[in-house]
Structure 1
Amino acid sequence: MDFQPDLPVPISYVSGRYLLFSIDVVTYLRREHHICGVLIGTLPQIPQQNVFLGLPLELMPEEARLLVDKGVACIVDETKAHDGMNTLLEEDRRRYLRDLESQGLHVSRIQTDRKERLREQTMKKLEEKGAKKKANASAAAAQTSAVPEDPTSTPPQSQKDASTVNLFAADESQSSSPAIEVSKNTTPQAPVAITPATSYPPLPTPSPSSYLSAPTVPPSYPLFAHLHSKGYFLSPGLRFGCQYMAYPGDPLRFHSHFLVVSYEWDQNIDLMDLIVGGRLGTGVKKGFLIGGAQKGIDDVDSEADRIDTVRAFSLEWAGM
């Protein structure tokens, strides 16, 4: 069953960034509201890696503003939210440490059981190999028993193998039992150090009176909201030299269709910018989309009216 959070979901405002720390909320916003964001978290044990990033998810101001305008999310100042958690009760701290130790012991037992199974598999393979060699040696000895032996001749190779197998079996019988006994009488296992990646339960959502105001957004926000209302997934377009990348579906399943750049309604556009954008978009198999809101956009009464004032055009190069 799909997760349905209590609305509005809190967006943490930390040092000028809008962050989400709950994987359930991230999944919900991506599935229901086409909000992708950018993962910026590194693994606790591998802080230097920068390929497989994880939580938190950073939202563009436009994404955060869109969610606030739709009533899906609220902005929470994390500094103020943590004011009441400056001190941790001693009993809570001990309970938390005991929980981490319990998790570490569980991991340690799993590792020990895995090593024990591997050792047993290795011993079984050695026993099977020794039994096979012994059977081959016995069969070879039976075949040569009818042939008179020459006192001056050397023992056949099969007898050498049989004697080697017997010596191997004797050494194994003498050495394996003590090893097994030692493994059974080992000292108590030390717990594996656990570095928690998340903290649960999350902080309680503050009262509406403590919500921050809607994020300040760039002039390109009307075009962003317009394309989002048409069902597009939008992500930052820096690597393609534009403001946004517009995807017809989830970016995990689709390539982007447009390089998006916003302009003011009465802004003069350099023709070379259109040529460069159009050629770039065609070169990477995408359309170059420009657009903006009509002048006087701040005078409209509702968000829907403001989005409806946006006009957009796409440019593509075609061979003649």
Structure 2
Amino acid sequence: MSMDGRIHLRVADKKAYVWDVEDIATIRSKHRLCGVFTGTLPHLSQQNLFLGVPMVLLPEEVVLLVENELAVLVDDPKAHIQPSVTELQRWNAQEKEFAQRHLALLAVAAKDSPGMSEEAVKKRKERELKKAAAAAAKSANVSSAEPDSSIFAPPADPAAPPPPAETQYTVVIPASSTLFEWYNDSTCLFTTIESAKAAGIWEYPSDLHERAKCGVFRGLWEQGMYMGGGIKFGGDYLVYPGDPLRYHAHFSATVLESPTFALTPMEIVAHGRLGTVTKKSHLLCGWDDEKKEVSYLSIEWAGFG
């Protein structure tokens, strides 16, 4: 987020991404925009049921945020700075130094435990850390009023060797920003859709249909609705009365380029039947490009007689 409080939308290949978790929370909680997560989760990269950062926004959501002066567009590829040869050499030297220090400390630990390889020492340290964490969690959950459970534990073997002393060491690694500047978006920010179009990083809306979608999206949003993609339900949007995590969609909405846009009887029947099967009303949203207004007509299948 920039100094003036605007959210930075990182644009790459004509798509806007949000990488900052706090910005994602702000967009959803304060601005009622949901976006779609597209990133895989750490250690679960093969599954696609639960996704994470980054979040990609619908083009209509991007236009709404920028026009309301809530966000700015960033030319993300240009914001990445290619380091110089000198900076890369300095980085490699730092990495080599850290690796040597780490190996030296492992050698000291191995010297304290003769007969054990560096890999064995490393594994033993990991086991000791896990045991210490489990013991700390257990002691935190046990009330001081409870009787001492140590009397139920087996007696210690006097012939057993004492546990090895825990050796702790710290390797301080500075942040990469102290080595060289790798990202700077101050020279490639765009505060309006028009300036982003002129720079060639953004092109939405580019025709009447896309202007109609932006207008309808804004009209529903200004009425307090949440919107999501509606392609699976035969429309442009799904319209929710509240956060989609708490509510089902009440409408599937179709954007029409004009309030007098022609529809065939078959289309009207299809919208009505599909909306009824999915327990929704179908919303026809006609956009008046001259007046910049939206007219709404809902279709709901009803019985006769």
TM band (smaller chain): 0.5 to 0.7
Contact 1:19 1:59 in 2 (8 A): yes
Q: Aligned-pair distance for 1:14?
A: 1.5
Q: Which residue of 1 aligns with 2:218?
A: 225
Matched ranges for 1:81-96 at <5 A:
81-83=79-81, 90=90, 94=94
Matches of 2:21 and 2:182 in 1, distance apart? 12
> Is 1:206 the equivalent of 2:200?
no
Contact 2:241 2:247 in 1 (8 A): yes
Contact 1:42 1:49 in 2 (8 A): yes
Q: Which residue of 2 aligns with 1:114?
A: 133
> Is 1:185 the equivalent of 2:185?
no
Q: 1:24 aligns with which of 22, 32, 42?
A: 22
> Is 1:275 the equivalent of 2:273?
no
Matched ranges for 1:7-22 at <5 A:
7-22=5-20
Q: Which residue of 2 aligns with 1:237?
A: 230
Q: Which residue of 2 aligns with 1:312?
A: 296
1:210-232, Cα deviation, whole Å (9 max, x unpaired): 56236413242221111111111
Determine which structure has more spread, i.e. the larger CA radius of gyration: 1
Matches of 1:70 and 1:64 in 2, distance apart? 10
TM-score with structure 1 setting the length: 0.64
Gaps (5+ residues) in structure 1?
131-168, 192-200
Q: Aligned-pair distance for 1:37?
A: 0.2
Corresponding letter in the other structure for 1:279: R
Q: Which residue of 2 aligns with 1:150?
A: none
Task: Write 1 or 2 for the structure with the bigger share of helix.
Answer: 1
Matches of 2:5 and 2:138 in 1, distance apart? 53
Matches of 1:209 and 1:47 in 2, distance apart? 32
Q: Aligned-pair distance for 1:282?
A: 1.4
Q: Which residue of 1 aligns with 2:38?
A: 40
Matches of 1:253 and 1:56 in 2, distance apart? 22
Contact 2:32 2:226 in 1 (8 A): yes
Gaps (5+ residues) in structure 2?
103-121, 143-147, 172-180
Q: 2:50 aligns with which of 32, 49, 52?
A: 52
TM-score with structure 2 setting the length: 0.67
1:55-101, Cα deviation, whole Å (9 max, x unpaired): 10010111101111111111111111113557756369949x97xx9
Question: In the superposition, relative to structure 1, how do residues 262 and 79 fare at CA in structure 2: closer, same or farther (>3 Å)?
Answer: same
Percent identity, please. Answer: 27
> Is 1:62 the equivalent of 2:57?
no
Question: In the superposition, relative to structure 1, how do residues 119 and 261 fare at CA in structure 2: closer, same or farther (>3 Å)?
Answer: closer
